[in-house]
Amino acid sequence: MNYAHVHIVLNHFPTIGTVLGLLLFVYALLRRHDELKEISFVIFMVMALLGLPTFITGAAAERAISARSDAVLVEAHKDAAVMAFTLLAVVGTFSWLGLWQARRFGRISSWNKAVVLVLSTLTVASMISTGSMGGEISHDEIRPEEAVVASEEEGLNGTLEAWVLDTAWAWPTGETLHFTGMTLLMGVALLVNLRLMGFLRGISFDAMHRLLPLGIFGFGMALLSGMLMFNGNPTRYINVPTFYLKMFLIVVAGIAVLYATVFDQAWNLRAGDKPPLTGQVLAVVTTIMWFGVLYFGRMIPFLE
């Protein structure tokens, strides 16, 4: 089994999960059911995180089939996947913001629900189109008759990968945004986790909770800029084992953020309170994971 197999398995989850999340969200809006709205937001957030390994393994799958597939179809599918993943990441970000609003203010703002509804609808449409293009790569019988067979060089022209490679400022800008985002993320994550470990007891978790949007903003900045750099030179990353470890840790640590957003154990911590054992263990584990993300990311230039 290789990463192409992993991609074939993974790509079903973000698509089907996002469709289910959208249906549940629409039902919750019609029934005015706040709990179901929050559940649908959790689904969107988890699907956004699962979209990360799906997108990454897609590049490995591309290399595996490059010798026997139409370059035009492959590049079109990849560019469509960039758009779909970007939309999914934005939906996941606004969904988390909605969960944060529900915890902090007792309700999700109307504008946030409207944004999630519109963007999730666009995301589903984009993901269905992307999946259809992926099917055309391996199944000649469903390709449109007007599909043009071109060489690999012709297929690369005009793609996002070519733009990143040919634009002098794209890569350094991506790196600057990536490291700035990681700095914001790590700073907030470390402060929140220290409180959950039992340090900084003079501060309530309510006060710490105000920092979480800044950390999520940093995470989104690092995610989208990292995707830009990855798409500019996928071969540099897909052949380095530590890169996949970094992606795995990001997904798991990202899902763990739900503990600080949704569950009452963390939220009920007042100034002077000792955190529960569950929170302490989770804080230690996720802190190690985030430092692992930094370490494995820095090892990529030395192992490529």
Query: pLDDT tens for residues 99-152?
Result: 999 888 888 999 999 999 999 999 999 988 887 777 666 665 555 555 444 434
Tens digit of each residue's pLDDT (9 = 90 or more) over 16-66 = 999 999 999 999 999 989 899 999 999 999 999 888 888 887 776 666 665
Distance in angstroms (rounded) separating the CA atoms of residues 88 and 248: 18
Instruction: Tell which of 103, 132, 157 closes a domain.
Output: 157
Same structural domain for residues 188 and 277? yes
Count how many domains the chain has.
2
b/e string for 113-151 if b means 16 or more Cβ within 10 A? bebbeebbebbbebbeebbebbebbeeeeeeeeeeeeee
Same structural domain for residues 115 and 24? yes
Q: What pLDDT, on a 0 to 100 scale, did the predictor assign at position 40?
A: 95
Q: Which residue has the higher pLDDT, 7 or 145?
A: 7
Range of the domain at 242: 158-304
- Radius of gyration of the chain measured on its C-alpha atoms: 20
Q: Which residue has the higher pLDDT, 182 or 11?
A: 182
Same structural domain for residues 1 and 149? yes
Q: Which amino acid is at 260?
A: A
Same structural domain for residues 66 and 131? yes
